[in-house]
Amino acid sequence: MSVNKPIRRALISVYDKTGLEELARGLHESGVELVSTGSTAARIAAAGVPVTKVEELTGFPECLDGRVKTLHPRVHAGILADLRLDAHREQLAELGVEPFELVVVNLYPFRETVASGATPDECVEQIDIGGPSMVRAAAKNHPSVAVVTSPARYGDVLDAVKSGGFDLTARKRLAAEAFQHTAAYDVAVASWFAGEYAAADDSGFPDFLGATYARGNVLRYGENPHQGAALYVDGTGGLAEAEQLHGKEMSYNNYTDTDAARRAAYDHDEPCVAIIKHANPCGIAVGADVAEAHRKAHACDPLSAFGGVIAVNRPVSVAMAEQVADIFTEVIVAPDYEDGAVEVLARKKNIRVLRAPGAPAGRVEVKPIDGGALLQVTDRLQADGDDPAGWTLATGEALPAAELAELAFAWRACRAVKSNAILLAKDGASVGVGMGQVNRVDSAKLAVERAGEERARGAYAASDAFFPFPDGLEILTAAGVKAVVQPGGSVRDELVVEAAKKAGVTMYFTGTRHFFH
Ligand SMILES: NC(=O)c1ncn([C@@H]2O[C@H](COP(=O)(O)O)[C@@H](O)[C@H]2O)c1NC=O
């Protein structure tokens, strides 16, 4: 059985003073002697709780603007003595050092200082040295010491003190938390240094890539039922920390589809709805409002939209919710919901309703490969290539503004389609999507077939990368599309332009490619 270890003496040194007075008072009332650093001690004393300043203990003043406070053998011997060993207890007695049974520390706000845009010198000054040393020492010595790094644990501390201290199992758990705390802190410091100073080349990529995640949720399973899976969060918000307002637990595939859906919906400035299955759109549309956008997106491919994941770039209205409630939908994600909309959606027991404020914000993407990882800058719409103002007319009549806007919609919507991607659009809505084929001809055929004869005729077509031969384009022109937008840049561009000209179709080059795998 795990025996509780009474707490007689505590060392408290915290930057974040949240809950400090209550903690100090509670510890004192339970007979715990308190030792503390500069402003922590001042705050405790001001609350009327007796406290010994660490400099009284060390006989050495805190100095160098706080760079040296607790870095002293009288402090560290008191934390690190393994009280299970007679020899350690005897040495402490010889040295006149009292042991600590509790260490409460939280660290200088390094990450927050970097995020505030502070100067490098200011960031460096916020690298805590004494704090992590105490935390690591106490965590190492968990058989004798309990360590706490978060005000969220103060309640547990006060409960434990009243019931004779933490048992070994609890001290191990606290030590694990403490090492996670210092590891995440060090990764933040190392990553900042790598970004600021380490790279001797001009690649723009640091020579060290550190990231820390905390487990958010254990998922029922992964992509398939025989694969275990869990969600991890990096603390920056986004989809991983979306608020679930209704429905069953999110699954692994729900997360990947919802991520793709948000990426698609936020590519458009107007109210936009994207309906995604297996990370591909079965409909994307813009409208005067989200209800109209949803009607248009759903009409693209109602068969495939069954069991889809819907993302919206505006708050969901009651009118849109009424429409969605009639269709079997796995997930809906939006920045918010107008009054009454969640209640309408919640009529269906299983639909997962998520609130995730703001557009997807990731700046880089990391893809694991065997033995390593690839990192790339996240693909975003480009100011020049994705704005029709920067396009080149390759052949045909220049489109009037309204039609150019239609083609621009097709181009943006095509970015959400897995390569090779061909997307046909009309009236600000996708009408035929050819996705994920291993040649562009099949993608073109699929897009035309899904649109059907009537919708393909007069549609605006986009291709995520250049046509390597005229054959893919000819499928589109044969179906009667009105205009085509593609990056251009093939060695056979001339043949492709010639084919468009022959068919009397307008074609623009963007100069920008959007492969999506
Ligand atoms: N230098 C040291 O010896 C040292 N010892 C503790 N600290 C930190 O000082 C802070 C508390 O200081 P104060 O009680 O003065 O507000 C804590 O965040 C703690 O992690 C130190 N500061 C930086 O390294």
List residues near ligand 1 (CB under 6 A).
13-15, 37-40, 66-71, 105-108, 128-131
pLDDT digits (tens, 9 = 90+) for 211-250: 999 999 999 999 999 999 999 999 889 999 999 999 999 9
| Plot region of 172 (φ>0 → left; ψ -120 to 50 → alpha; else → beta) | alpha
3-state DSSP assignment of residue 147: strand
User: Whole-model pTM?
Assistant: 0.88
pLDDT higher than 60, residue 1: no
Q: Distance between CA 66 and CA 88 in Å, rounded?
A: 30
433-439: average pLDDT: 97
**DSSP H/E element including 441:** helix 440-456
pLDDT higher than 90, residue 283: yes
pLDDT of residue 4: 84
Report, as residue numbers or ranges, the catalytic residues.
140, 278
Question: Where residue 200 falls among pLDDT bands split at 50, 70, 90?
Answer: low
By C-alpha distance, which of 455, 485, 472, 407 is closest to 300?
455
pLDDT of residue 199: 62
pLDDT higher than 60, residue 394: yes
Q: At what angle do helices 86-95 and 73-80 cross, to 10 degrees?
A: 160
Residue nearest atom 4 in ligand 1 by C-alpha distance: 130
- 384 C-beta neighbours (distance < 10 Å), count: 11
Residue 122 CA to ligand 1 center (angstroms) comes to: 16
> Is the ipTM here above 0.90?
no
Could you tell me if 295 and 321 are in contact, meaning their C-beta atoms sit under 8 angstroms apart? no
By C-alpha distance, which of 356, 377, 111 is closest to 237?
356
In the structure encoding, which two tokens stand for residue 109, read together?
Answer: 């706000």
pLDDT of residue 487: 98
pLDDT of residue 222: 98
pLDDT higher than 60, residue 502: yes
Q: Regarding predicted confidence, which is higher, 503 or 68?
A: 503
Could you tell me if 107 and 13 are in contact, meaning their C-beta atoms sit under 8 angstroms apart? no
pLDDT higher than 80, residue 330: yes
Question: Where residue 195 falls among pLDDT bands split at 50, 70, 90?
Answer: confident
| Plot region of 481 (φ>0 → left; ψ -120 to 50 → alpha; else → beta) | beta
By C-alpha distance, which of 328, 280, 332, 266 is closest to 302?
328
Q: What is the mean pLDDT of the chain?
A: 95
Question: Where residue 204 falls among pLDDT bands split at 50, 70, 90?
Answer: confident
pLDDT higher than 70, residue 318: yes
Count of residues making up the chain: 517
For residue 420, cis peptide bond before it (omega within 30 degrees of 0): yes
In the structure encoding, which two tokens stand for residue 313, read together?
Answer: 């770039």
Q: Distance between CA 282 and CA 274 in Å, rounded?
A: 8
pLDDT higher than 90, residue 207: no
In the structure encoding, which two tokens stand for residue 397, read together?
Answer: 């009549």
Q: Distance between CA 151 and CA 168 in Å, rounded?
A: 21
pLDDT higher than 60, residue 84: yes
- Angle in degrees, CA 54, 130, 192, rounded to 5: 155
Q: Which of 12, 13, 111 to mutate to test the pocket of ligand 1 (most atoms within 8 A of CB)?
A: 13
- SS3 per-residue string spanning 442-458: HHHHHHHHHHHHHHHCC
- Which atom from ligand 1 is nearest to the alpha carbon of 131? 20
Question: Where residue 385 falls among pLDDT bands split at 50, 70, 90?
Answer: confident
Could you tell me if 219 and 231 are in contact, meaning their C-beta atoms sit under 8 angstroms apart? yes
pLDDT of residue 66: 87
pLDDT digits (tens, 9 = 90+) for 19-47: 999 999 999 999 999 999 999 999 999 99
Share of the chain above pLDDT 90, in %: 91
